[in-house]
Amino acid sequence: MAHAPEKHEIEVAAGPSRGLLSSVRDFLAKNWFLLGLVCAIGLAAAYPPLGKKGGYLASQYTVKYAGVAFVFLFSGMSLKTSVLIKATMVWRTHIVIQLLSLGFMPLLGWGIATGLKRGTGINPALLDGFVICMSAPTTVSSNTIMTRSAEGSEAISIVASVIGNILGIFVTPFLILGYLGQAASVDYGNLFFNLSVTVIIPLIIGQVIRFFRPTWVEWLQKYVNFGQFGNCMILLLVWSTFCDTFAAHISLAATDLLVVLALDLGTFIIVCLLSIGWYYAPHAVHVLKRAGFVIERPDAVAVMYVAATKTIALGIPIINILYDHDPNLGLYSIPLLIYHAGQLLLGAVVLPFVRRWNLAAAVKEDEKVDVGDV
């Protein structure tokens, strides 16, 4: 006769399933944004009329203006004004970061795209999108998180990210139009009106609220996670953008996507190596050393993660503004979306190696001290 299972038997049987559920839950919690990107694109492909411009939700107003404006309003409220002031203290480091991010990378992207357009058969809109991706400023959150995890200079990361995004508002559109040669078809007045309404004015209002009504910000932060809200708005913007793309019935070869993936990951690795190489450069080039371009390893870590990363929070809105009525709008966005996913993946993969390199000098110093004490 069968007996009823004991309590401990039930717990043992349920143990593996609970472990599996816990693993799935942890995976979803860590990778929800990347999964959200996949879902956003999938939903856009399933029913484009819902989110396209002029569609049922009028995304050209509800998403493009309202959603983006709220992102930068919250950014303004959460950003410490004192951080901007301290940026001048390490101006050489910030010059190098911005030259890599908004100087070297756009030039490299333009050179590669120009070469590949000659007889390779790769979709030219994707190659233009690669140039646009390289012209975007650095991201704000993920690079700081990874810098902190690698025990790099978190303060430099925050300041450089802020500077890069403020510069990007003005510099990125001109880089894109300059390299792609489409300045004649763009209404600059409309461009800066849209940038002002969706980015600059909300950012300033957020700073004013933070300065005069800090208690409001503290109360709001208890109920709203500003970072998560911004990510959700980005997913909404991606969904709307791809609704337009799928509504236009644009076809794309898998080989083209693989090429873009290789270009994105390769560029990320190149800039990482150049950033770490800057730590060694002054030792070999005495002119740099005499000019004061000498940094510590924690600073080099911050330079690497800031200079090599690109933001979709500002990049996607700029693409939407510059190419509002272009049928290739979605294709222009693809390289930036792939780059964003790739930088998170590669940044996390190299993090333990960067951290060991960063801490190696500190370990050697400790060993010297121990020998001296003896």
Domain ranges of the chain: 88-185+253-354
- What are the angstrom distances between the C-alpha of 7 and each of 1, 4, 13, 18, 51? 19, 9, 10, 16, 52
How many whole angstroms separate alpha carbon 53 and alpha carbon 63? 10
Residue located via tokens 């371009």: 293
With tokens 């609704």, the residue in question is: 243
Output the average pLDDT for the chain: 80
pLDDT of 233 over the 60 cut: yes
Cβ-contact 346, 265 below 8 angstroms: yes
Residues 204-232: what's their mean pLDDT? 83
- Which pLDDT band, with edges at 50, 70 and 90, does 301 fall under? very high
pLDDT confidence band for 284 (50 / 70 / 90): confident
Cα 14 to the chain's mean position, in Å?
Answer: 41
Q: Record the pTM.
A: 0.68
What's the CA gap between 186 and 322, in Å, rounded? 7
The structural architecture, per CATH, of the domain 88-185+253-354 is: Up-down Bundle (1.20)
Confidence band of 183 (pLDDT split at 50, 70, 90):
very low
pLDDT tens digits along 353-372: 898 998 886 655 444 444 44
User: Of 48, 66, 65, which Cα lies nearest the Cα of 239?
Assistant: 48
Averaged pLDDT for residues 317-322: 82
Mean per-residue pLDDT for 126-134?
94
Nearest to 267 by CA among 111, 34, 38, 37: 111
**Confidence category of residue 154, pLDDT binned at 50, 70, 90:** confident
Q: Among 6-10, 75-79, 180-184, which is the least confidently predicted range?
A: 6-10
pLDDT at 41: 83
Higher-confidence residue of 344 and 311: namely: 311
Q: What pLDDT band is residue 237 in, cutting at 50, 70 and 90?
A: confident
Degrees (nearest 5) of the Cα angle 72, 269, 162?
Answer: 20
